[in-house]
Structure formats: structure tokens, C-alpha cells
Amino acid sequence: MAQPIITVRQLSKTYRVPERDAGLLASIKSLARRTYNDVQAVRDINFSLEAGEIVGFIGPNGAGKTTTLKMLCGLLHPTSGEAEVAGYIPWQRSGVYLRRISMVMGNKSQMMWDIPPLDTFRVLGEIYHVPAAEFKQTLDELVELLDMGELLTRPVRNLSLGERMKCEMVAALIHRPSVLFLDEPTLGLDVSTQRRLRRFVADYNRRRGATVILTSHYMADVVELCPRVILIHQGSLLYDGALSGLVERLAPFKLIRLTLNQEQAPTIDGHLPPNVEVLERENGRLVLRAGRAETPAITSRLLDTLPVVDLVVEDPPIEAVIDQIYQEAKV
Amino acid sequence: MNHRGGWALVRSTWLSWMQHRSFFFVLAFGWMIPPLVYLLVWSTAAGSQAINGFTRGEFVAYYLVLILVNQLTYAQTNWTVGDVIREGKISQMLLYPMSPLYNTLSSEFAGKVVYMTFAVPVTAVLAVLLHPELHTTPGHVLAFIPALIFAWALRFFWGYWLALLAFWATRADALLAVQDTLVFLLAGQVAPTLLLPGALRGLANVLPFRYMVGFPVEVLTGQLNGSALWVGFAAQVGWLMIAVLLYKWMWRTGLRRYSAIGG
């Protein structure tokens, strides 16, 4: 088996956060004596990634995703534990290490506002010491993949959010990093731009064999891009594996959507199998929930006994599954 | 050290700043006003006589040189360092294989070029109108160059280490305002330090502020010779070394704190 490119062992991070009550008196008191509260953002997480993997890092707000990414790209020192990325300890921030990674933060920009993107890219090329020929080749390739040639010479301040995010991607990849951290890269983008960026990340991963860790609250990003997900909640790792496995484990049921012949629909009540739950019912349309194992038997019984016009069996929406985990904090 | 990246940053920051040159021209104009007021006050006060050896024309020369030196050494970038730290923008800089000091230096250098495109012509026009008397020799000009460079470095690093207090305190830039006030009082802006009353002059000679502005002006206008010149250089370089050490220490401990509490 190949050597993992990212190894994380018992990684923990505790923040010390100053605390005080609201009001003037409390603020005066805090001048004299500050009280602190320890907040454990990441607790003893373990995982490893093979080179070339795309992994979705999911969890609700405040779960510890960004803290983990910041430790992996060297911005934060862990409180305890170890991590190794591409053979380096990230928080030592060696120049060689920083040249091998890149991070895109959906809510932060590395573009210079007043000058065209091409100028920012050139500066980055110099900062990362990219040879001229390689710079041109990479830029052409990225610009073509993102179809953004016409944006290169317009000042960044005049670009839309989606156009700017395309620029952020190019800026992050101009030095051909082998590990890419994407922290909510599709934040606030319209669906078609989101889809375009997803395709781009997948293409880039295929072409360059880069390892990608992606955090996103849009499940479409995760479903389309990440064969594997790591789920963290309240700082702890809850699940590490295929997304489909998560759905099966969490939602041991299927949804059956039925459309019935309108005229006979009102008379169906006695014919529904006892082991289904009616989730929705409107005119002749029903949504039923049934146990995964019983679903085949139930569908054939429904087809036999009811005036079925249309029947669809599907997995519950991933959003519902994720919501369930976020609410219950367990897998 | 990543000079290649740093130089590229200077060029792009300059391009970026030239987009807003009118804003920076207004800033440069604002910085010019206090020395200009004192130029008029002292040259009027001197009239046709001399005050402590300064004639009207010498006051004009002193303040015109001071206008340029003040703008060349004023590290206005330090005002933004606190925001960069407070708002977490420094995280992006820390991801680059290059010291974030380059970001600050790039705005410094880019800024100087933009300000000078305003300050030099304006000062030249003032020189034509106000008839300065400049008693300078090639030796003074030669000594002025290192004095100016050290003055800039001292003012920059002194402000930078103060600005780095933002790692601990949210509004550390108040200290930059204190520095500006002390420079105004003790670095030869209100009056040439040679004209300050005894105790204040002693203080000006001991503290670092005179060496940020007044000293190079005194060198170029030929007020300092022999041992006074060498003592001045020694004090300037001494304070510069202290400022650089303070910057290095603040940076190291500040960064440790930043990476512990998160950006």
C-alpha cells in the first residue's frame, strides 16, 4: 500500500477564550481580572489520506473543520497530537512545505482588488518561484478549464463573486500544489458556478493527481466530488468512509413515491401494508417510508393491491440524513 | 528570504496604488501642512534677523528638506498592520513561502514612489517661491544618504514593533498616534531640535524620535559637523538595532500566540 500523504494522529486543539457577562459592570470587572474558558475545538482525531484522494470534510458550523484545516496548512499549532503532510510537520511552516500546499477560503480572498487578476497571478508566480514556461503552461491550462480568459485583464473589483472564485482557484493552483485545502469554496455561488467549480476540482485532481480536502455545507459538492467523507462534530470524528455507507447506516429506510389513479385513490386506506409510514399525502400522490430490507416486498404488494400509475423508490435526501446527524451528534 | 517574491509584490502594490493616486496625494498634502505652518511661523519670526543662528532663508531650507524627509520616512503602512492581524488577513500571508514583512515593505516602497510624485514637485515650487538658503557641502550630501536610510528604517521598525502589539491588544495602534506626537515634538517638526529649550533638547537627543526625521535634515542643512555628526550616527544606528531586535522578538512571540489562539 502506498505511503499516505496526510497522517493525523490524536490531533487536538483547545482555544482559550476570554469570557465576561454583558453590561458595564462586567466589562469594568474584566479589566481587572479576566476569566477564560477552554473550548475544545478538535478532540483526538485520527485519519490518513492517500495521495490523489478527494475527501469531503463535513460537519455543522463550529464542528472543528476549519480548525483542523488550519492546523494542516500550518496556521495553527495543535494543543496535542501529530500531523504529517507530504512528509512535513505543517506548523513548522517550512518554505518547501508551503510551496507544496494551497488553501482556498470561500470567505477570504487573496486577489488584489485594484489590478487585473493576471497581475496577481504573476506576483504569485514570483512568490512561489514558478519558472516562466511552467507558469504560462499552468495558467493556460487553468484558464481553459475554467473558461475565464476574458476575466484576466479586468480589475478584480469589477468581477462577480463567481468570477472572483474562479480567480481564487487559479491563484491557489498556479504553483501546482500537491495538496489542496478547500474551505467552503462554493460559498454563496449560484448553482451553475458551483457545478463548474466542482467539475474543475475533479478535473484538476485527475490531471495532476493532487490530494484534495474539501469542506462544504452544500451536499451536492460532497456527493459529486468526494467518494470518501470524514464527518466531525463537536470536535470529534464521527465517521470516516464512503458517503453511501453513511446514508445506509443512518437512514435504514427508503422512500417510496407513489402516484395513484385519482378516481380510486380515496379508497386505498385499508390496502396499505402495516409496516410503512405515510410521510405525505396529497390527492393521489403519496410518500411512504419503509425499512430498507422490506422495501422490495412492500413495493410488489403495493403494485398488486393498488391502482398504481407511477412508483419510485429512492434513498432519503442526503440533507435529511446529515441534518439528523448534526441534530443527534451521533452516527 | 524571498526577495524575488518581495520585489514582485512591490511592483504590483505600486500598480494597485497608482489606481488611487489622488487619495494618496491628499494624504501627502495633509502631511505637508504642519511643517509648512511651522515654516511660515519661524521664517516670519526670523524676519530679517537670525534666531539662534537660523536666518529666514535657513528656516525655509530646513522645513522644505523636512517636508521631504518626513514623507520619505513616514511609515504609514504600520497603521494597517493592526487591522491585518485583527481581521485575520495575516493568515493568507502566512500561507506564502515568504515573510509577511514583505507585504508591509511592499506598501512602504510603493507608497514612497506615489507620495514623491506629489511631494517633490510641490516642494520644488515652494523652493522657487520662498528662496531657501541651503549651506550644504558634498560631504553633507554624502552623509545625508545613510542618515536618511537609517531614519526610514528606524521609524519603520519602531512603528512596526508597536503595531505588532495587535497580536495581544486589539487597539494597539493608539501607540502609533503617541509615536507620531513624539515625533512631532521631539524630531524637529515644531522647531529644529537645536532650538529646543535645554531639558527638552537633552530628551530629544537621547530618545529615538529625533533620529527618525530631524537628524537627516540637520545633516543635509549643514548644522552638524565633526563629533556631533558621529554621535548622531551612533545614536541612530543604536536605536535602529534596538528597534529591529524588538520587531524580531515581537514577531516571534506574537506569531506563537496567533497560532495558539487562531486567526
- Kindly report, residue by residue over B43-91, the tens digit of the pLDDT: 999 888 888 888 999 999 999 999 999 999 998 888 888 888 888 889 9
The pLDDT of residue B258 is 87
CA nearest to B90 within chain A: A75
Q: What are the domain boundaries of chain A?
A: 6-248, 252-314
Whether A95 and B260 lie within 8 Å, measured CB to CB? no
| Residue B166, min C-alpha distance to chain A (Å) | 16
| Residue B99, min C-alpha distance to chain A (Å) | 10
The pLDDT of residue A232 is 92
Average pLDDT, chain B: 91
* pLDDT grade for A267, boundaries at 50, 70 and 90: low
The pLDDT of residue A165 is 92
B7 contacts B14 by C-beta, under 8 angstroms = no
Domain A252-314 has CATH 3.30.70.1150: yes
Domain A6-248 has CATH 3.40.50.300: yes
Per-residue cell: B53? 543662528
For the cut 60, the answer to whether the pLDDT of residue A89 exceeds it is: yes
What pLDDT, in 10s, does the model give residues A275-321? 888 888 887 888 998 888 899 999 998 888 888 899 999 888 877 77
- Cα separation, B199 vs A7, in Å, equals 64
* pLDDT grade for B110, boundaries at 50, 70 and 90: confident
Range in A90-104, A181-195, B56-70 with the lowest mean pLDDT: A181-195
Instruction: Enter the pTM of the model.
Output: 0.82
Residue A289 DSSP symbol: E
A93, A123, A158, A179, best to mutate vs chain B, most B CBs in 10 Å: A123
| Residue B68, min C-alpha distance to chain A (Å) | 28
The pLDDT of residue B149 is 97
- For residue A105, list chain B residues with Cβ-Cβ distance below 8 A: 91-92
* pLDDT grade for A325, boundaries at 50, 70 and 90: confident
* pLDDT grade for A226, boundaries at 50, 70 and 90: very high
How much is the ipTM here?
Answer: 0.82
For the cut 80, the answer to whether the pLDDT of residue A26 exceeds it is: no
The pLDDT of residue A25 is 78
Range in A125-139, A239-253, B211-225 with the lowest mean pLDDT: A239-253
* pLDDT grade for A62, boundaries at 50, 70 and 90: confident
Note the maximum CA span of chain B. Answer: 64
Percent of chain A with pLDDT over 70: 97
- For residue A74, list chain B residues with Cβ-Cβ distance below 8 A: 94-95
The pLDDT of residue A181 is 96
**Nearest CA-CA partner of B243 in B152, B125, B138:** B152
A15, A115, A118, A156, best to mutate vs chain B, most B CBs in 10 Å: A115
The pLDDT of residue A37 is 84
For the cut 70, the answer to whether the pLDDT of residue B157 exceeds it is: yes
The pLDDT of residue A266 is 61
Calculate mean pLDDT across residues A14-36: 77
* pLDDT grade for A79, boundaries at 50, 70 and 90: very high
A184 contacts A152 by C-beta, under 8 angstroms = no
Calculate mean pLDDT across residues A228-252: 88
| Residue B263, min C-alpha distance to chain A (Å) | 8
The pLDDT of residue B133 is 92
* pLDDT grade for A265, boundaries at 50, 70 and 90: low
Helices A191-208/A132-146 angle, 10° precision: 140
CA nearest to A69 within chain B: B262
CA nearest to A18 within chain B: B261
Calculate mean pLDDT across residues B241-256: 95
Identify which of B12, B96, B98 has the shortest CB distance to residue A115: B12
* pLDDT grade for A324, boundaries at 50, 70 and 90: confident
For the cut 80, the answer to whether the pLDDT of residue A234 exceeds it is: yes
What pLDDT, in 10s, does the model give residues B5-39? 888 988 888 888 888 888 888 888 999 999 999 99
Average pLDDT, chain A: 89
**Nearest CA-CA partner of A212 in A98, A59, A101:** A101
What are the distances in angstroms from CA B68 to CA A277, A300, B23, B117, B150?
Answer: 82, 90, 18, 11, 15
Calculate mean pLDDT across residues A137-156: 92
The pLDDT of residue A178 is 94
For the cut 90, the answer to whether the pLDDT of residue B243 exceeds it is: yes
A38, A72, A76, A130, best to mutate vs chain B, most B CBs in 10 Å: A76
CA nearest to A80 within chain B: B260
The pLDDT of residue B244 is 97
A81: left (phi > 0), else alpha (psi -120 to 50), else beta? left
The pLDDT of residue B72 is 94
B263 contacts B177 by C-beta, under 8 angstroms = no
Calculate mean pLDDT across residues A111-126: 92
